[in-house]
Chains A and B, each alone.
Chain A
Amino acid sequence: MVNETTAQETAWAIASALPDPEIPALTIAELGILRSVELMEGVITVSITPTYSGCPATEMIKGDIETALRDAGFSAVAVRLIHSPAWTTDTLSAATLEKLRAEGIAPPHRGQAPHCPLCGSSAVEQIAAFGSTPCKSLWRCITCREPFDHFKCH
């Protein structure tokens, strides 16, 4: 490693590019799961935050980060879970929301019912309060009849 800043930046570049295991079109950085990468006493310390308490992907993300950084030559890596401030969908960027929509997942908008990600119609109805993963709910478009997932506000 050339120096601390470079090491930290390289590690961030590697970790931030890792895809989310459940929504691989998005990276863990885009989803706000990756909080920080620091070099602390020679150890690359990566902080991540779980999206919600029972998220089954958290361990896998932790493992993916460790593997990716070790493969890149970082020998001392620690991944820690931080819980404060709690994860929220409010910090997702406009680009990330658009990526979700392009994936066929209606993005979260606080205080707003979702629009059909396929045809854009606002004539939609909820089928179930939960979708295939707890962070989503299941809807149907009345206009084009497409069933779709809505990433819930959290």
Chain B
Amino acid sequence: MSAICEVPGGNIAVAETPMLRWVLAYADDALILGHRLSEWCSRAPSMEEDMALANLGLDLLGQARFLYSHAATLENAAQPALERSEDDYAYRRDAPQFRNALLVEQPNGDFAATMVRHMLYASFADLYWRASLAVSDPAIAAFAARSEKEIAYHERHAADWVIRLGDGTAESRRRAQSALDGLLAFADELFETEADQLPLMAAGAIIDPARLRDAYRHRIEQICARATLSLAWPRWHQSGGRQGRHGEHLGHLLAELQFLPRAYPGASW
């Protein structure tokens, strides 16, 4: 398959099957959001929150590692000579090869923006991994069980903060509302169905996120009501991340994340 010749230490050329694309999409979501959370280190509004943000980041990075290893297993099974590892996917792909939703690459902004972004992601991920308990591959189902347990806490933590900020002071309310207004257009991309994955969905190998959209909207509406924030679902949504069409921010994030392996190709750490 991989007709493109890979330069040692350079970009890898992933032969994307529908299954591999699915694995990479969710792995990339977890890596990019985990990386964003790690950017908060020693900058959080309180020491308790510094620990909490590091923790949320750790969960996501751990989930990304599982999924990248799974991707490597799939690719190596098709072409053992590739000898793919988890790090190849994180460090040796350029922005257009990343499949994450645009939501997770949005900059941290202020604490309100980080918590609103996290609520929008975690409410989705909680529903998605719970639904994925039923997928046919027992390894993925077990991963989903573990992730759901972790993400349920993420959702609660983010929702608690969105409620506190929305129903806190005038300033926190203004910041939370502004974050919500700005980020809501990124939510719907999480529910896009990729046409070539339909057979996998029909076979029960993966879950179609589209079927979770109503439940998701209901959850977000409930949180925003408790936060006394006004919520108006936009009639349009931002899209393109799953196809590798990203915003300007991802390139900078990757330049930082990938710096060492790019500067010292072939070295092991």
Q: List residues of chain A with CB under 8 Å of any chain B CB.
A: 50, 52-56, 83-87, 127-131, 134, 154
B51 at the interface (CB under 8 A from A): yes
Closest to A130 in B: B51
CA distance A128 to B48 in the complex (A): 6
Contact in complex: B61, A86 (CB < 8 Å): no
CA distance A48 to B185 in the complex (A): 42
Contact in complex: B146, A134 (CB < 8 Å): no
CA distance A84 to B141 in the complex (A): 8
Residues of chain B within 8 A (CB-CB) of A134 are 55, 58-59
Closest to B57 in A: A54
| Centre residue among A54, A127, A134 by max chain B CB count within 10 A | A54
Contact in complex: A53, B66 (CB < 8 Å): yes
Contact in complex: B58, A54 (CB < 8 Å): yes
Residues of chain A within 8 A (CB-CB) of B149 are 86, 154
B123 at the interface (CB under 8 A from A): no
* 25 A-B contacts (beta carbon < 8 Å): A52-B59, A52-B150, A53-B58, A53-B62, A53-B63, A53-B65, A53-B147, A53-B150, A54-B57, A54-B58, A54-B60, A54-B63, A83-B143, A84-B139, A84-B145, A85-B142, A86-B142, A86-B149, A127-B48, A128-B47, A128-B51, A130-B48, A130-B51, A134-B55, A134-B59
CA distance A52 to B59 in the complex (A): 7
Residues of chain B within 8 A (CB-CB) of A52 are 59, 62, 146, 150
B138 at the interface (CB under 8 A from A): yes
CA distance A126 to B213 in the complex (A): 36
Closest 8 CB pairs of A and B: A53-B62, A84-B142, A54-B58, A54-B62, A83-B142, A130-B51, A128-B48, A86-B146
Residues of chain B within 8 A (CB-CB) of A54 are 55, 57-63
Given contacts A55-B62, A130-B55, 9 further A-B contacts (CB under 8 A): A53-B59, A54-B57, A54-B59, A85-B142, A86-B142, A86-B146, A128-B51, A130-B52, A134-B59
Interface residue count on the B side (C-beta < 8 Å): 26
CA distance A129 to B54 in the complex (A): 12
Residues of chain A within 8 A (CB-CB) of B139 are 83-84
Q: List residues of chain B with CB under 8 Å of any chain A CB.
A: 47-48, 51-52, 54-55, 57-63, 65-66, 138-139, 141-143, 145-147, 149-150, 157
Query: Shortest distance in angstroms between A79's beta carbon and chain B's nearest beta carbon?
Result: 14
Closest to A56 in B: B58
Residues of chain B within 8 A (CB-CB) of A128 are 47-48, 51-52
| Centre residue among A52, A87, A131 by max chain B CB count within 10 A | A52
CA distance A134 to B53 in the complex (A): 11
Closest to A154 in B: B149
Query: Shortest distance in angstroms between A145's beta carbon and chain B's nearest beta carbon?
Result: 19
Residues of chain A within 8 A (CB-CB) of B141 are 84
CA distance A56 to B55 in the complex (A): 12
Residues of chain B within 8 A (CB-CB) of A53 are 58-63, 65-66, 146-147, 150
CA distance A85 to B147 in the complex (A): 13
Query: Shortest distance in angstroms between A60's beta carbon and chain B's nearest beta carbon?
Result: 15
Residues of chain B within 8 A (CB-CB) of A84 are 138-139, 141-142, 145
Residues of chain A within 8 A (CB-CB) of B147 are 53
Residues of chain B within 8 A (CB-CB) of A85 are 142, 145
CA distance A85 to B145 in the complex (A): 9
Query: Shortest distance in angstroms between A134's beta carbon and chain B's nearest beta carbon?
Result: 5
